[in-house]
Each structure stands twice: as structure tokens, then as C-alpha cells.
Amino acid sequence: MQSNTRWNNNLAFLLAATGSAVGLGNIWGFPYKAGENGGGLFVLLYIFFVILLGLPVFMAEVAIGKIGKKDPVSAMINTAEKTNSTKNWRVVGYLGILSNLFIGGYYAVIAGLVINYGFISASGFIGKDPTVIYDTEISSFLEMTFWFLLFLALTGFVLARGIEKGIESSMRILMPTLFFLIILMVGYGAYRGDMSAALSYLFSWKAEQFSAATMQAAIGQAFFSLSIGMGTLMAFGYYMPKEQKVPGASSIVVTADTSVALLAGLAIFPLVFAFPFLDPNAGTELVFKTMSTAFAELGAIGQFVGPLFYLLLAVAALSSMISILEPSVLWVQERMPTTRTRATFIVIAICIILCLISVSGFNVLKDFKVGSLENPFEMMKYIADDFLLLLGGTGISAFVGWRLSKIIDLEKLGFKSKLLFSAWIFILRWVSPLFLMVIWVLGNLERIFFIKFF
């Protein structure tokens, strides 16, 4: 079945792509990674890699979608044909579909926990110990399953309604809500928390913590946060109105995404530092265990601020999750061909199975180790983020740099200067594939074979 749907206007692409980019990666991931990896140094490296590698590869992925049309696999085949390249480039599209499912297969589980925490924090913590709550919540396979199913039902509902009625119209509500909530949270943090401690934690220069691993973390985080590497941006580029400029639109999305990551740090850490017994280095549990303890300490007002914070996370997660599964839905829909609703059902069903595996990593199979990966949840996350996405990003970068660049019409894509265009192609050919492959190899050696160089 052909779906000739497009975004209604230029704003729709910006909203949807920002909705995709701003997600758990920004609010759940960025703050704790910045804290763990040397504060200001990590933040600066992150921004450096976002500009040097993230933005160029982001634009490359959007360009493939805009020129290739259709789902990621067909878009790769079409653009390969147009450039007389081998059709094997379609592997990049298939890798993308696979990444969709694997990312979706753990992302929804964390998002489910977020919704659960929204309700928990609304009911107040009086007389309860938030640390105990966390351990009880994650220990129940059934309860975690219930929450991720709820989240996937919401995602499926939007996806089934299609590009315009589903994604576009939900983003019109979700994005303003998200920006309102994050500003509110930063404001509250500044009013009630310790903003100067937060600023120094996030931005002070801890050079002694610098290592190759810091760089690896910064690059991985930049690509994940910008939604690069698995066809989301190809699909969104395909829906882009013809006259919309790729470099301009991409720069706006990248700036918005980076700003939200920084704001998330400024929303979270002031409250953490308001209570000296809270540990800012709580890693993945920061937004759950640590933040809920902070809300409990705030007393009655915490019962109000807590749910707003988890609503912010849930909104960010939902708009990203929609974009995570969109390429697969589009692919199934065109491949079968079938209706959008049926395609959505198929994709959600596969995602549910993968989510069940992830959930088991928190409880029933929490001691099931693979290499240095602690449990099935870590395994899913590793396959998606460290293995598939980086490969996808490399493929996209190399393909546009070496092949697609030959037929790109600067004007049509929206480049104003020939020099910028040449710099873009240079980065796509030489710089980003090299960086991505180096961190891919190092990461895999370390995670699977325990071989560590730095």
C-alpha cells in the first residue's frame, strides 16, 4: 500500500523530529552520564560531538529519507539505485528496523516505570521509604508488565491513527507541554533547591575523570539523543514538505534537543543537592530512587511537583517511542501491504515480546549474565544502543558521503554555501565513520570480551 502522506507544513517536521529527539535519553540519561563522566568536561565534549558528528549525520539521514522516499529499507534501495550503488546498502535499512524493535523493547519498560512513579508520587510517600518502593516495584514481573503495556497501548493508539491525525496532532500537544513542564521544573529547582551546587556539579571541570571511555560515552549519547541511526529520521525526512530545507530544519532540532538535555540537568540536580544525604551519582536510578526521595522530603508540595516531573518524563518518552516504532510500522505497512492499523498491531506485538525479556532482567532473570552484561535488560540495551545503532549511523554516514553526495542537488536540499556542503561531505566520508567504528570496536571488546584498553 502506498502512503503518500506528508507533514502538513514545515513546523510539523520540526515538532515531530524534536519530539523524537527529546526523550528519556535527555532527561533520564544525560544528567547522570554528565555527572558520572566528569561534569563540565563531558558537557563540553558532548556539545562538541553533537556539532562535529551529530548534526552532519542527522542531516544525512534526513536527506536519504527525503530523496529515497518510503520506509527505510526502500529508501536505501531507491537511493542506491539512483547512485548506481549496490542494493546491498539496504542492509542499513534492515539494521534500522531491527534497532527499532530492540530499542522499543527496553525503552517502553523504563517509560512504564515512569508512569508507575507518576502515580506513586501522587499518592505521597508519608511513612514510606522511597528506596524500598523502588526495589518492590521492579521486583514484580507482572506489575512492570502492566505499566509497559499501558505505555505501548498509548503509543499504538497514536501510531495507528497515522502521520497527520496521529503523530502530527499528538506532537502539537505533547511538545508545548514538554517545554512548559521543563521550564517549570527548572524554575522550581532554582526556587527550592541548590542551583549553585547543581551548576558546579554539571559544569565544573573535572579533568582527572577524562578517559577514552568519556569520549565514547559522549559520542554514544549524542547519537542516541539525536535519534540517529535507525531510520526514524529517514521516515520523518520522507514526510517533509518538498521545499523544507534540511540543514536549517536539522539545526533547529539539534539545538532544541541539546537545550533540553542541559535543562534536564538543571531541573534534577538542584533538588538532589537540596538534601545532603542524596547521592547525585545514582546512575540509572537517579530519576526514580533519588528524585522520588527528594519529592518525599518536600512533603505535601512534593505530591504535586513529583507527578509533574514524571509527567514531563512520560511526555518525552511517548513522543520518542512513537518515532522509534514509526519506521517499522511504515515498513510492514508497505511491505505486506496492509492497513496502518494492522501494521501497528504487528509491530507492537513484537515489541511486547522484547519488552517481556527486558522486564525479566529486573526480577525473574536478574542474575542471568551474558559476558559483562549484567542481565537481559542490559543485554537488550547493549544490542540496541551500542551494537546496532552505531553500525546504522556508520552506514548512513558512509553512504551519503561516498554515494549519495554525487547526485545531491545543493539547492534542493537547502545548502546555501558550497563550502559548508563540502565540509559536510568530508565529515560524512572520513570523520564520523572513523569515530563511530572506533568506539564500536572498543565498546564491543569491552562489553563482550572484557578487553579494556583505557
Find the binder of ligand TRP among 23, 35, 104, 265 (CB under 6 A): 23
Residue 404: which of 18, 92, 100, 3 has the closest Cα?
92
What is the 3-state composition of the chain as percent helix, strand, coil, each rounded to the nearest 5?
A: 80, 0, 20
C-alpha distance across the termini of the chain, in Å: 51
Least CB distance to ligand TRP at residue 251 (A): 17
347 binds ligand TRP (CB under 6 A): no
Question: Left if phi > 0, otherwise alpha if psi is -120 to 50, otherwise beta: which for 389?
Answer: alpha
Find the binder of ligand TRP among 14, 16, 18, 25 (CB under 6 A): 25
435 binds ligand TRP (CB under 6 A): no
**Residue with smaller CB distance to ligand TRP, 122 or 252:** 252
CA distance 334 to 336: 6
**Residue with smaller CB distance to ligand TRP, 54 or 361:** 54
**Residue with smaller CB distance to ligand TRP, 133 or 379:** 379
* Count, residues near ligand TRP per rule CB under 6 A: 17
CA distance 317 to 319: 6
**Residue with smaller CB distance to ligand TRP, 102 or 125:** 102
21 binds ligand TRP (CB under 6 A): yes
Residue partners of 409: CB distance under 8 A and separation at least 6: none
270 binds ligand TRP (CB under 6 A): no
Q: Near ligand TRP by CB under 6 A, which window of 35-43, 316-324, 346-354, 400-408?
A: 316-324
**Residue with smaller CB distance to ligand TRP, 230 or 404:** 230
Burial of 268 (0-12, 13-18, 19+ CB in 10 A): buried
Least CB distance to ligand TRP at residue 30 (A): 8
Q: ∠ at Cα 23 (167, 241), nearest 5°?
A: 40
CA distance 151 to 291: 21
Q: What is the DSSP letter of 23?
A: S
20 binds ligand TRP (CB under 6 A): yes
**Residue with smaller CB distance to ligand TRP, 167 or 274:** 167
Binding site for ligand TRP (CB under 6 A): 20-21, 23-26, 103, 224-225, 227, 229-230, 232, 320, 323-324, 389
